[in-house]
Amino acid sequence: MRAVFRPEAKAEAIEARDWYESRAPGLGIEFVRTLEVALATAMKNPEAFAVIESDLRRVILRKFPYSLVFRPEADRIVVFAVLHHRRAPRTWSRK
């Protein structure tokens, strides 16, 4: 199984990484590692995560106030958002 990031989700991940890195050296790298763990877990067993709307599911990241919003498909998962928990809950649904 592989992961495909929509351009918006990739931009959100990069923005979050850069923001954390600007706060403390190495924190951006820690964010990326945490995101990679969440992604690997979702790819291993995508059906284990809560459905949040239609066929979209989410993984809550550890240590960071973010969720990975994705849709499982036959041979891949499509990441729709890397969503900060303080943003409007429907922000990702407009994407």
Per-residue pLDDT, averaged over 2-21, amounts to 96
Contact residues for 74 (Cβ-Cβ < 8 A; gap 6+): none
Q: Name the average pLDDT for the chain.
A: 92
Where is 67: in which H helix or E strand?
strand 66-72
Which pLDDT value is given to residue 47? 92
Which pLDDT value is given to residue 93? 53
Residue 5 has pLDDT above 80, yes or no: yes
Task: With beta carbons less than 8 A apart as the criterion, state whether 17 and 31 touch.
Answer: yes
Which pLDDT value is given to residue 72? 96
Q: What's the CA gap between 1 and 20, in Å, rounded? A: 29
Show the domains of the chain with their CATH numbers.
2-86 (3.30.2310.20)
If 0-12 CB within 10 Å is exposed, 13-18 middle and 19+ buried, where does residue 21 land? middle
